[in-house]
A and B are shown apart, each in its own frame.
Chain A
Amino acid sequence: MNDNCTENVCVMNGDPIIVKDLSLRYHNRVAFKDVSINLSPCTVTALIGPSGCGKTSFLNCINRMTDFVDGCQVRGQIRVHGENILSKQTDVVKLRRKIGMIFQKPNPFPLSIDRNISMPLRYHGIKDAKQRQEIVEKSLNEVGLWDEVKDRLHTQATSLSGGQQQRLCIARAIALEPEILLMDEPCSALDPQSSATIESLIGAMRKKFTLIVVTHNLAQAKRVSDKTVIFWNYEGFGQIVEDGPTDQVFFKPSNKTAQAYIGGHLG
Chain B
Amino acid sequence: MLGFISWTASLATFFILGILLFDMVSDGFRIMMSVDFFTNGPEKAGRAGGIAPILVSTMLVVGIAIAVSIPIGLATALLLSEFTRRDSQFAFFVRKSLDILAGVPSIVFGLFGNAFFCVYLGMGFSILSGGLTLACMVLPILIRTTEESFRAVPNEFRHGIAALGFTKTASVFHLLMPMAIPGLVVGTILGVGRATAETAALIFTSGYVDRMPESVLDSGRTLSVHIYDLAMNIPGGDRMAYATSLCLVLILLSMSFLTNIIAKSVLQRGIYTS
B86 cross-chain contacts in A, Cβ below 8 A: 70
Residues of chain B from 156 to 184 with CB closer than 8 A to chain A in the complex: 156-167, 170, 174-175, 179
Interfacial chain B residues near A94, Cβ < 8 Å = 165
B270 interface residue (CB < 8 Å to A):
yes
Residues of A within 8 A of B155 (CB): 68
- Determine the distance from Cα of A68 to Cα of B166 in the docked complex, in whole angstroms: 14
B271 at the interface (CB under 8 A from A): yes
Stretch of A77-85, A106-114, A213-221 with 4 or more beta carbons under 8 angstroms from chain B: A106-114
Q: Are A68 and B157 in contact (CB under 8 A)?
A: no
- A93-B166 contact in complex given A70-B85, A112-B272, A112-B274, C-beta closer than 8 Å: yes
Q: Is B214 an interface residue (CB 8 A)?
A: no
Please, how many angstroms separate the alpha-carbon atoms of A169 and B156 in the complex? 12
For residue B159, give the distance in angstroms from its CB to the closest CB of chain A.
Answer: 6
Given contacts A114-B274, A123-B174, whether A107 and B167 have CB atoms under 8 Å apart is no
Complex CA–CA separation, A94 to B271 (angstroms) = 27
Verify if A126 is at the interface (C-beta below 8 Å from B): no
Contacts of A16 in B (CB 8 A): none
The answer to whether A110 touches B271 (Cβ under 8 A) is yes
**A–B pairs, 16, beta carbons within 8 Å:** A65-B159, A65-B163, A68-B155, A93-B166, A93-B167, A96-B164, A96-B165, A100-B164, A101-B163, A103-B156, A107-B157, A114-B274, A120-B161, A123-B166, A172-B164, A173-B163
Q: Which of A96, A100, A107, A115 sits near B274, CB closer than 8 Å?
A: A115
A105 on interface, CB distance cutoff 8 Å: yes
Task: Determine which residue in A93, A97, A169 has the highest number of CB atoms from chain B within 10 A of its CB, and name it.
Answer: A93
**Once bound together, how far apart are the Cα atoms of A101 and B86, in whole Å?**
25
Interfacial residues, chain A to chain B (CB-CB below 8 A) = 63, 65, 68, 70, 93-97, 100-101, 103, 105, 107, 109-112, 114-115, 119-120, 123-124, 154, 156, 158, 169, 172-173, 176
- The docked-state distance in angstroms from the alpha carbon of A111 to that of B167 is 19
Taken residue by residue from 135 to 167, chain B's Cβ proximity to chain A (1 for < 8 Å, 0 otherwise) reads as 000000000000000000001111111111111
Enumerate chain B interface residues (CB-CB to A < 8 A): 85-87, 155-167, 170, 174-175, 179, 270-274
Please, which residue of chain B has its CB at the minimum distance from the CB of A94? Answer: B165
Contact (Cβ within 8 A) B160 A156: no
Give the residues in chain B near A114, CB-CB below 8 Å: 274
Given contacts A109-B175, A115-B274, A156-B270, contact A173 B164 (CB under 8 A): yes
By beta carbon, the residue of chain A nearest B170 is A123
Whether B163 contacts A96 by the Cβ 8 Å rule is: yes
Contact A109 B160 (CB under 8 A): yes
CB distance from B174 to the nearest CB of A (A): 6
Q: Which residue of A lies closest to B87 (CB)?
A: A70
State the 8 A-B residue pairs at the shortest beta-carbon distance, nearest first.
A97-B165, A154-B274, A101-B163, A110-B270, A107-B160, A107-B156, A96-B165, A120-B164
**B162, A96: Cβ atoms under 8 Å?**
yes
Q: Given A111-B271, A115-B274, A154-B274, A103 and B165 touching (CB < 8 A)?
A: no
By a CB distance below 8 angstroms, the chain B residues around A120 are 161, 164-166
Give CA–CA (A176, B163) in the complex, Å: 11
Q: A227 to B83: give the CA distance in the assembly, Å.
A: 40
Chain B residues closer than 8 Å to A63, beta-carbon distance = 163
Question: A176 touching B274 by the CB < 8 A rule?
Answer: no
A100 to chain B, nearest CB (A): 7
B182 to chain A, nearest CB (A): 12
Distance, CA A63 to CA B85, complexed state (A): 21
Nearest residue (CB) in B for A172 is B164
